[in-house]
Amino acid sequence: MTQLLLFFLLPAFYCTAQPAEEPILPDTGTIIIQLETLNNHDGVILISLFSDDDGFPDDWEKAFRSEIVPITAELKEIRLEDIPHGTYGLAVVHDENENMKLDTNFLGVPREGYGFSNNARGRFGPPRFSETQFTLNSDTSVLQIRLNY
C-alpha cells in the first residue's frame, strides 16, 4: 500500500516542485549614433527612432523611442539601449535654440542641422521611411549620421 501511495504522490510532487519557466524576452541591442558633422555645441540633439512610417519623421510622439540629448564638447556618440531587434528608421535634429522642433525658413528649408539613418536625403522634403530603414539584429549597430546644415 505504501508503495502504491508513493507511486502516485512522487509524480505530483515532481511536477509542482519544478521552477516556473522564465518568460521568453525578445532579443535586444544597442544603437550607437555617431554624428559626423556638428556645427557647434549649442542646444540639444533630438532623436526619433521609428519602427514604421506612421508619423515619420516629424511626429516624435509616434516614434518608437525619442531622446533629447544635451550637447557637450565631449559628445561623441549617442546610445539607444534595450532596443528590440527589428527594422527602424532614425531622424536626428540639431535643435540649436532648444524649441523642440526643426526650424525652417518661409519656404520650408531647414535652418538647423538634420539627418537620417542611411544618410538618406529627400527631394523637396524629408526622405521616405523606406529610404532610412536599417535592421538591428545584433548586440550593437553603429550608425554614422551626417547632419545637413
Give tens-digit pLDDT for 67-108: 999 999 889 899 999 999 999 999 999 999 999 999 999 999
**Residue 89: predicted pLDDT:** 98
**Residue 1: predicted pLDDT:** 52
Cell of residue 10, nine digits: 512522487
| Total-model pTM | 0.81
Average pLDDT, the chain: 89
* Residues of the chain with confidence (pLDDT) below 50: 4-10, 13-14
What's the rounded Cα separation, in Å, for the pair 69 and 94? 10
**Residue 19: predicted pLDDT:** 61
**Residue 5: predicted pLDDT:** 43
**Residue 11: predicted pLDDT:** 52
What's the rounded Cα separation, in Å, for the pair 113 and 89? 17
**Residue 124: predicted pLDDT:** 86
**Residue 4: predicted pLDDT:** 45
Q: Terminal CA-to-CA distance of the chain, rounded, Å?
A: 87
**Residue 9: predicted pLDDT:** 47
